Amino acid sequence: MNPAPTTLDRLGWGPFFAESFDAVVADSKGDGDLAPARVSIEHNYLFRVQTASCDEAGVLASVAGSIKHAAQTQMSLPGVGDWVALRANDTGPATIHAVLPRRTYFSRKAAGNTTAEQVVAANIDTIFLVSGLDDDFNENRIQRYLVAAADSGARPVIVLNKVDLSPALEHAIDIVRRLAGDVPIHAVSCVDQRGLEALATYLRIGQTVALLGSSGVGKSTIINRLLGHERQRTRSTRASDGRGRHTTVHRELLVHPDGGVIIDTPGMRELRLWDRNRAVEMAFDDIEQYATDCHFRDCRHRTEPGCAVRRAVEEGRIQSDRLTRYDQLQREREQLTERRDQLTELVERQAEVKRTPRPSRRVFKR
Q: Are 37 and 51 in contact (CB under 8 A)?
A: yes
Residue 75, domain extent: 7-99
Q: Label residue 95 by pLDDT band (50, 70, 90).
A: very high
pLDDT, position 240: 43
CATH number, residue 156: 3.40.50.300
Residues 193 and 111 in one domain: yes
Residue 359 in any domain: the answer is: no
Does a structural domain hold residue 279?
no
pLDDT of res. 239: 43
Residues 80 and 155 in one domain: no
- Confidence check: pLDDT of 173 > 70: yes
- The answer to whether residue 118 is domain-embedded is yes
Task: Give tens-digit pLDDT for 27-85.
Answer: 886 566 899 999 999 987 789 999 998 777 789 999 988 887 777 677 788 999 999 99
160 and 232 co-located in one domain? yes
User: pLDDT category, 271, cuts 50, 70, 90?
Assistant: low
Which pLDDT score, from 0 to 100, does residue 366 have?
55
What percent of the chain is modeled with pLDDT above 90?
A: 39
| CATH at 37 | 2.40.50.140
132: in domain: yes
Q: Which of 68, 99, 130 is the endpoint of a domain?
A: 99
Q: What is the pLDDT of residues 142-166, one digit of tens each?
A: 888 888 888 888 999 999 999 998 8
Do 199 and 315 fall within a single domain?
Answer: no
pLDDT at 275: 58
Whether the full predicted model's pTM is greater than 0.95, yes or no, is no
User: Within a domain: residue 155?
Assistant: yes
Q: Is 1 among the domain residues?
A: no
CATH (domain of 334) = 1.10.40.50
Closest CA relative to residue 321, chosen from 175, 130, 133 = 175
User: What is the pLDDT confidence band of residue 245, given thresholds at 50, 70 and 90?
Assistant: very low
Contact 243, 272 (CB under 8 A): no
One domain for residues 259 and 162? yes
Instruction: Please check whether residues 90 and 112 belong to one and the same domain.
Output: no
**pLDDT value of position 68:** 78
Residue 202 has a pLDDT of 95
% pLDDT > 70, the chain: 80
Verify that 113 and 250 share a domain, yes or no: yes
Of the candidates 245, 240, 145, 224, which has an alpha carbon nearest to the alpha carbon of residue 185? Answer: 145
| pLDDT at position 241 over 50 | no
Same structural domain, 256 and 297: no
Number of domains observed in the structure of the chain: 3
pLDDT band at 92 (very low <50, low <70, confident <90, very high): confident
Give the model's confidence band at 16: pLDDT under 50 very low, under 70 low, under 90 confident, else very high: very high
Same domain, 189 and 317: no
If asked whether residues 109 and 241 sit together in one domain, one would say yes
Tell me which of 46, 78, 99 is where a domain ends. 99
* Domain-embedded: residue 361: no
Pair 249, 296 in one domain:
no
